[in-house]
Amino acid sequence: MPEGKIIKALSGFYYVYSDDEIIQCRGRGVFRKNKVTPLVGDEVVFQAENDKEGYILEVKDRKNELVRPPIANVDQAILVFSAVEPDFSTALLDRFLVLVEYNRIKPIICITKMDLTSEDQHKQIQMYAEDYKRSGYTVLLTSSETEEGIKELYPYLDGEISVFAGQSGVGKSSLLNALNPDLDLRTDDISSHLGRGKHTTRHVELIRMGNGLVADTPGFSSLEFMEIEMSDLNFCFPDIQLKSEECKFRGCLHIAEPKCAVKAAIETGELPAYRYEHYKQFLQEIKDRKPRY
Ligand code: GDP
Ligand code: ZN
């Protein structure tokens, strides 16, 4: 049986990408039994009825599943942050990183609008970029205006399902347009002034970009730590997690425990203090979270 990947779902049809062809498939009750609704991003087994049409027989196990936008098997998130307008925020970046890590998605940090930075701002951003690289992240400095750093992004899209994420106005649509000029996603300039969100009425769709697939709708619209437990947080900060292997106590939360290697590393400047501050803030936020029923 042929296999493929759902790249678009619309009006009861699933568009399955397989062997460089797109087959329009219907579902046939199979997944209704096990309560699986096929999602864009799903790997499926299908039966072809002819060159163009078929029906889905099976939805393979998912590696992850985002709710907004509804999409499965996301490999990678391009976290888009502007250097200025709005100003770069490590607190917000760390929040996105935690959510992405928790979903077992690989983050790529992309700092846009570098063309708008003053010399001092430029230096500051470069310092942050070095910090995050030392923490193990990929960081790209870009400008959709001058196309600085755009080419460097392509290889990271290869063979992956990527979503772009980031606050409104940071330059996600501009970046997608710069990567793929045929796309013509409207930028905030036009759409927000018309009073309608640019993506509200549209279905999510995976578009081909280079040798990868990119969701045409930004991900991680909710930034709350709904399901994350206090003990998970360590794993969502890979730099802190690496250090925590040297903590005296297993399961050390790096707050009041003695002989904590993470706190020691903050003292010596080996780990950036702001990462630890955000870790503590998020821990508190999770602690204060009202129980869900
Ligand atoms: P989105 O909401 O994240 O999709 O952001 P947009 O792509 O709509 O960009 C918001 C505004 O920032 C628009 O006015 C863009 O023209 C502008 N913009 C985006 N990227 C850049 C950039 O790299 N340099 C400059 N100078 N302006 C940019
Ligand atoms: Zn510790």
Site to substitute for ligand 1 among 111, 115, 174, 194, most atoms within 8 A of C-beta: 174
pLDDT value of residue 226: 81
Residue 3, pLDDT score:
97
236 annotated among ligand-binding-site residues: no
Q: What is the mean pLDDT of each run of 10 residues along the chain (293 residues)?
A: 94 92 86 77 94 92 89 96 98 96 95 98 98 97 96 92 94 91 57 43 79 88 84 96 96 96 97 97 92 63
- pLDDT for position 187: 52
Q: Which ligand is nearest to the CA of 259?
A: 2
> Cα of 254 to ligand 2 centre, how many Å?
4
Which of 185, 215, 245 finishes a domain? 215
* Spatial separation of the C-alpha atoms in residues 258 and 263, rounded to whole Å: 10
pLDDT for 241: 96
Would residue 88 count as lying in a domain?
yes
Q: How far is the CA of 164 from the centre of ligand 1 (A)?
A: 14
Q: In the prediction, which pLDDT does 32 show?
A: 61
Nearest CA to ligand 1 atom 28: 113
Domain co-membership, 78 together with 166: yes
Q: Are 75 and 34 in contact (CB under 8 A)?
A: no
User: Among all ligands shown, which has an atom nearest to the Cα of 263?
Assistant: 2
- pLDDT number for residue 196: 43
What is the Rg, in whole angstroms, of the alpha carbon atoms belonging to the chain? Answer: 21
202: domain CATH number? 3.40.50.300
Pocket of ligand 1 (CB under 6 A): 112-113, 115-116, 143-145, 166, 168-174, 187-189
- Residue at 224 is within a domain: no
Does 172 carry a binding-site annotation?
Answer: yes
User: How far from 122 is each of 87, 94, 157, 216, 235, CA to CA, in Å?
Assistant: 12, 20, 26, 30, 31
- The CATH code of the domain that includes 34 is 2.40.50.140
User: Do 241 and 211 lie in a common domain?
Assistant: no
Which ligand places an atom closest to the C-alpha of 174?
1
pLDDT value of residue 76? 96
Domain membership of residue 27 as a residue range: 3-60
Q: Which atom of ligand 1 is nearest to the CA of 188?
A: 8
pLDDT at 28: 78
Q: Is 115 annotated as a binding residue?
A: yes
- Cα separation of 124 and 131, whole Å? 11
Domain count, the chain: 3
Residue 239 annotated in ligand binding = no
What letter represents residue 39's amino acid?
L
**Same domain assignment for residues 143 and 271:** no
Q: C-alpha angle 127/129/135, rounded to 5°?
A: 110
Residue in the structure block whose two tokens are 């999409």:
71
Q: What is the pLDDT of residues 236-278, one digit of tens each?
A: 999 999 999 999 999 999 999 999 999 999 999 999 999 999 9
Q: Is 151 annotated as a binding residue?
A: no
Identify the three-state secondary structure at position 248. Answer: coil
Residues 84 and 211 in one domain: yes
The residue assigned the tokens 């730099």 is 239
